Amino acid sequence: MPYTPAAPAPHGLDTLRSITTPEGVELHLRLAGPVPRACAWAIDLAVRAVIMVVLLMLFSALAGMGVGILLIAAFFLEWLYPAFCEVHFDGATPGKKALGLRVVSDDGTPVQPAAAVVRNLLRAVDFLPFCYGLGLLSMLVNREFKRLGDLVAQTVVVHREEPRAEAAIPAAAPRAPAFPLTTDEARAILDYAERVPELTPERADELARIAEPLVAGTGSGARERLLAVANHLLGRAPR
């Protein structure tokens, strides 16, 4: 039976975005939703508040000049400081770094200065009518959780992935495929097995049912059969 490519994932089942670079390297980006981004924003707000309190203590005695310095500092901290951090600290403000988040371009490359400035200046629009109402609405209707600033700047916020020493393929009793697999088919099964721990059960079962013809299986248990074939391809001994 011929193998049928997967259809696009329904929104909410899978937050993993795959990008193929011009060099043929496949990148997997795990998208960050509204909750961790809101927590990161709260941490950044606290950091900016502490800095402003320190500056207020330092320059409050300078009368008019001190007020001017504080206004300039407030503008920089609110609009340019986040962009500066995102460009010079691997896409992360202190809040994003604490939550394991980073900003990247749509193609997975580091965010550029112009894009970082644009996405942060447009927070003024995302904030409308209050408390980032438009920004939250935009993230909820966009499958990549982009606020308006991200849409214009062509950026996306993702979870920072720690490098793994080896493929985290769940162990299962090895089972040989029902017919010889091509290199691409074997790679597809191994890629699926690597992703299973990161997928929701619904998404894992959906992908398994699509790839079931590769292991000549029918009915329930498609995920288990694919994992068994993946363990066979890895050369793991029967348990």
What is the β-pairing status of strands 155-159 and 26-31?
antiparallel
Q: pLDDT (tens digit, 9 = 90+) per residue, 184-226?
A: 788 888 888 888 888 888 888 888 877 767 666 544 578 888 8
Note the pLDDT of residue 229.
Answer: 86
| Range of 17-21, 123-127, 165-169 with top mean pLDDT | 123-127
Decide if 70 contacts 59 (C-beta within 8 A): yes
Question: Can you tell me which residue has the tokens 């909820």?
Answer: 140
What would the two tokens of residue 28 be?
A: 């997997």
pTM of the model: 0.64
Identify the pLDDT of residue 42: 96
5-54 pLDDT per residue, tens? 343 333 334 577 777 666 555 677 889 999 999 999 999 999 999 999 99
Inform me whether the pLDDT recorded for 239 exceeds 80.
no
Range 209-215 contact pairs with CB under 8 angstroms and sequence separation of 24 or more: 210/4, 210/5, 210/6, 210/7, 211/3, 211/6, 213/1, 213/2, 213/3, 213/4, 214/3, 214/177, 214/181, 214/185, 214/188, 214/189, 215/175, 215/177, 215/178, 215/189
